[in-house]
Chain A
Amino acid sequence: MISVDVALKLGAFDLEVAFENDAGIIALFGRSGSGKSVTINLIAGLVRPDRGRIVLDGRVLLDTKAGIFVPKYRRRVGLVFQDAQLFPHFSVRRNLLFGHWFAPQQEPGIAFDAVVATLGIGHLLDRHPTLLSGGERQRVAIGRALLSSPKILLMDEPLAALDSERKLEILPLIESLRDEFRIPIVYVSHAVEEVARLAARVVVLENGRVTAVGSVEDVLGQNLAFTGESRFAQSSVITGRLSRVDTDYGLTEIAHPAGTIWLVGEAGPVGREARVIIHATDITLSPTKPPPNLSIRTILSGTVAGITFDHGPLASVAISLDGHGQLVALVTRKAIDELGLHRDDQVYALVKTVALDERMVAAKQA
């Protein structure tokens, strides 16, 4: 259990953030400069706030009113930097053992072998950090933080410096940290996919203020600007049940009351709950049931819950899916007018299967 309530003025930047989380992963989400990293640094004790209180598992780490400031080396908080920050003069093994050595010996900590096995870094132990690839470096950094037996893991854009293939390697590792080692994580990111896949709850930050807090399903896709580059980041998260893997075609079928979602690849065991991330730019809308002679396989039915226009050519349409869940689609203002779409209208959301693949599906937290 972590509760954070901090305020800090840094020149023109003014931060005021408060949130709480029990277990699992909470994501701090926002564009760069929104105050995500500063918040992480405040929790880690690298920065002192003007005012605030941070409590971790009942232990007060910071209370400006009571004059409490626990120094960083006593906070038991594992920080994973964006660029790993491995000690260049130590081998991988000594990097991993650095925090282990300072961790209290009487507590049963996290076992070295388990961490090395989970992260798949056994063959790197005697290497020098500088000879590692970006992905390997980040895995070692995660292992190093874990082995200091922290009460919480803080991850500051841990995948931002990696290419998308490396990201795909590390995402499931972070999921397994959450599930295997049962360690709560505060995950900072500006990437919707990562947040949607990993986090149970999201805190959206904008200019140093919290603009939304809640479950991933509720928050994502709602508070994002949809003009410019950021429209490609807007997405929705749909929860369904993995009902079938079609090995002939190499597709996975996910059942949802609004319709069947198909995705490319064979994603994991049948029967489990799955969260699918659908980009708002990958959705086509139709007010009538589309004819069967379209290549589109995924057709989800629902009603229009709201339409938001920006000052440009685009509009964002929120769709309440039949059953449960909300989908956000980005279309042009022209299309809205010509289709005559209004609130509460019946609508079909068409998603190209090729836009979805197994990396878009996350195993629901155990």
Chain B
Amino acid sequence: MFELSPEEWTAIRLSLWIAVTATLASLPLGIFVAYVLARWRFPGKVLIDGIVHLPLVLPPVVTGYILLILFGRHGPLGAPLAEYLGIVFSFRWTGAALACAVMGFPLMVRPIRLSLETIDRRLEDAAGTLGANGLWTFALITLPLALPGLLVGSILCFAKALGEFGATITFVSNIPGETQTISAAIYTYTQVPNGDASAWRLTIVAIVIALFALIMSELVQRGVNKRLATFA
């Protein structure tokens, strides 16, 4: 029978929660970085672009290890964050979300950037001459017109976050109920005797979630395309 154990449920809930958190938390920074890359001209832009895309090409374990060094309890960023803001990453679900956000970030930035680059700048000029300052123009014109990119970027980041394994397990280990996502749980079950049934069930859940996300993104895309078609 297909009945999920409490441990399996925990892994599923945690996976979804971590992926949603990672996506939503990285969205503002993603928009900002995409805007900078799309619009600003400055020396060293190539370097920024490279750093943003680095997690895409680095082995995930390397990314996880760098996060461990930087955001660990005694790391140069982890220590002050824990002391002054009370945010602890190491061996917590927050760390898993951070790892997922970093891994998903390049996938989020690219579509937003492309969306921003296709916006006719004269629409912003028009808004300006009509009295809207830079912030209003961004809020009323730029951001709404970049909506397709925002949606696609968010979906891609969410999908990446759901499947993330290497960086997460390196950074925050594999603690059931805290950092053990579906991927980590499946890995664990394959390492223990009689874990096959659990691994199977989680695999099916993973397929269902992935399929659901794909269909959702397809529907969203279609809706966006319909609106875009009327834009043209």
Contact = CB atoms under 8 A, between A and B. Distances in A.
Nearest to B144: A89
B62 interface: no
Contact of A145 (B130, B141, B144): B130
A32 interface: no
Interface in B212-232: 227, 230-232
Nearest to A99: B130
B32 interface: no
Interface in A61-82: 71-79, 81
B196 interface: no
A73 B232 contact: no
Nearest to A141: B126
Contacts of B232: 130
B79 to A, nearest CB: 43
B151 to A, nearest CB: 14
A75 B133 CA distance: 11
A46 B125 contact: yes
A144 B129 contact: no
A103 B131 contact: yes
A71 B133 contact: yes
A102 B130 contact: yes
B129 A102 contact: no
Interface string B99-124: 00000000000000000000010110
B137 to A, nearest CB: 8
B195 interface: no
Contact of B130 (A45, A88, A144): A144
Interface residues of B, number: 21
A72 B230 contact: no
10 contacts: A44-B125, A73-B133, A76-B131, A79-B125, A81-B126, A85-B120, A85-B122, A89-B144, A99-B130, A145-B130
Contacts of B132: 73, 98, 102
Interface string A125-137: 0001011000000
Contacts of B122: 81, 85
Contacts of A46: 125, 128-129
A77 B230 contact: no
B126 A73 contact: no
B56 interface: no
A19 interface: no
A112 interface: no
Given A85-B123, A89-B144, A102-B136, A131 B230 contact: yes
Given A102-B136, A128-B230, A130-B231, A85 B126 contact: yes
A73 B145 contact: no
A65 B225 CA distance: 50
